[in-house]
Structure 1
Amino acid sequence: MNKNIPRIYIKDKLNLNTIYFLSKENAHYIKDVLRMKIRDVLEVFNNTNYIFFAEITCISKKKIEIRTFNKQLKNIESPLHIHLGQVISKNEKMDFTIQKSIEIGVNIITPLFFNNSYFEKKKISIFNKITRWEKIAISACQQCHRNVIPKINTPKNIFSWCQENEKNDVKIIFHPQSILTINNLKKSIKNIRIIIGSEKGFSNHEIKKIIQYGFISIRLGPRILRTETAALAAITALQIKFGDLTK
């Protein structure tokens, strides 16, 4: 199939030779943005390692109808599983971090905050934030051809998250004054949990507390990076060392 075939996400379980009606959002994208026509072909993904090819069978003012006709296994997930704990940054920076980290291969993102009243003070709706971030995740997967959508967790207190211990997780905090580098880590690592601070970074007291929860302090480089740069640089370095970025 042509790699330039437009891709859309459908939440439903998909079957071959089956008719599906597109959501308003997908219908708008297909009809008004891409200006596709009847018999044009789409690539459909639905949060599995399978993709479906579908033909547009009906376009009207009220609906767009497609029919699946081909199914293929397409697993491009990295062998390295990365869980990113990102302290919530300003809107554009957080959106950028979520989008680009997903394109590079992160699997889970947990937004973090220090104060439990963070959302109340700023009059921010957690539901609206998560909905926005999930849409960004889907859009990123649509762009980079990932078929399994990374999970965006409900925002959590930073130290509660740091205390969590998943089986075989290597927990890392990046600090320019650390002695250890990524090259000091074992070559067989498959599951990594990393924490990235906000624009202000972490204080020495916070770093010490995070390390007490089992995080290894790693030096990514001598420079102080912006929060959105730090997340991408860290994920990229880990994918090169333990994942599939150079394969």
Structure 2
Amino acid sequence: MSGPRTYSSSPLSSGQRIDLDDQAVAHLIRVLRMGEGDAIRLFNGDGHEYAGQLCDVQKKGAAVMVGEILRSDAETALILQLGQVVSKGDRMDFTIQKATELGISDITPLWSERCEVRLKGERLDKKMEHWQKVAISACEQSGRNRIPTIHAPQHFADWAKDNNADVRLLLHPHRQKPLRDYAQPTSVALLVGPEGGFSEQEVEMAMSSGFAGLTLGPRILRTETAALAALSVFQFQWGDFS
């Protein structure tokens, strides 16, 4: 079935009629000029993609009749967790978008000593809502039916200490070993620092929490590039790229 993919926060089941939210209406009706009876595809993060047909189309609103399940995402064989120190400008958006496309399971924004971004209160709440929308949009584009979890920001040391993934890696050359030397994991945690990197004290703190070093070739990568390069390698080595 063809038709644009659209996210809905509502529970979905065949034969159900749901109202589309304002963002979906703006895109489908006012931008794409779709009308009564046109086909769309729906997902809400439950792992399924549903057929849908527009109905009750008006200037400021529209509904959709939910049809059959078109396809379902299998549970991922490799759980990928990203702890990313918050980066400036739109770099964090880029990381979340591309990590979602690459199959990330969980993303936790982190604070560290050299982090140049300071968010709290209402500004942080708005940023969290924005990041969630970035992930949803990436799912719409990439065909994912499961939305990654974006956790509330925390200090990197707390995230590292509480993490229990099978393989825990820090983008730093300290105590590294080839990925081929690891047994096939079911979960991998990746810790990525800010533009200025982690301090030596922070590196030691991560190592004491069970993280090992990882480097990606001889070149120095920007923080957003490093995370995505590493996730791609993990998917090739242990995940669904092989």
Q: Report sequence identity in percent.
A: 35
Matches of 1:209 and 1:63 in 2, distance apart? 53
The CA deviation at 1:127 is: 0.3
2:86 aligns with: 88
Q: Report the alpha carbon displacement of residue 105 of structure 1 after superposing the two structures with TM.
A: 0.7
Match of residue 237, structure 1, among 218, 233, 238: 233
- In the alignment, structure 1 segments of 5+ residues that lack a partner are none
Tell me which residue corresponds to 1:170: 167
The correspondence of residues 168-247 of structure 1 with structure 2, limited to 5 A, is: 168-176=165-173, 178-186=175-183, 188-246=184-242
How far apart are the structure 1 equivalents of 2:33 and 2:185?
46
1:29 aligns with 2:36: no
Deviation for aligned residue 1:220? 2.4
Instruction: Pick the aligned partner of 2:127 from 126, 129, 137.
Output: 129
Alignment of 1:36-185 (within 5 A): 36-75=34-73, 78-114=76-112, 118-119=118-119, 125-166=123-164, 168-176=165-173, 178-185=175-182
TM-score, normalised via structure 1 length: 0.91
Taking the aligned partners of 1:179 and 1:65, their CA distance within structure 2 comes to 54
AA aligned to 1:139 is S
**In 2, distance between residues paired with 1:209 and 1:62?**
53
Which residues of structure 2 form unaligned runs of 5+? none
CA distance in 2, matches of 1:221, 1:176: 10
- Contact 1:198–1:227 (Cα < 8 Å) also in 2: yes
Partners of 2:176 and 2:82 in 1: CA distance:
22
User: Aligned with 1:172: secondary structure?
Assistant: strand
Please report the TM-score for the alignment, with normalisation by the length of structure 2: 0.93
Give, in angstroms, the shift of residue 91 of structure 1: 2.4
* CA displacement at 1:94 relative to structure 2: 0.5
Is the contact between residue 83 and residue 191 of structure 2 (CA under 8 Å) also seen in structure 1? Answer: yes
- Distance in 2 between the 1:6 and 1:72 partners? 13
The verdict on how the C-alpha distance between 1:65 and 1:124 changes in structure 2, with shifts beyond 3 A counting, is closer
Instruction: After TM superposition, give the deviation of residue 156 of structure 1 in Å.
Output: 0.3
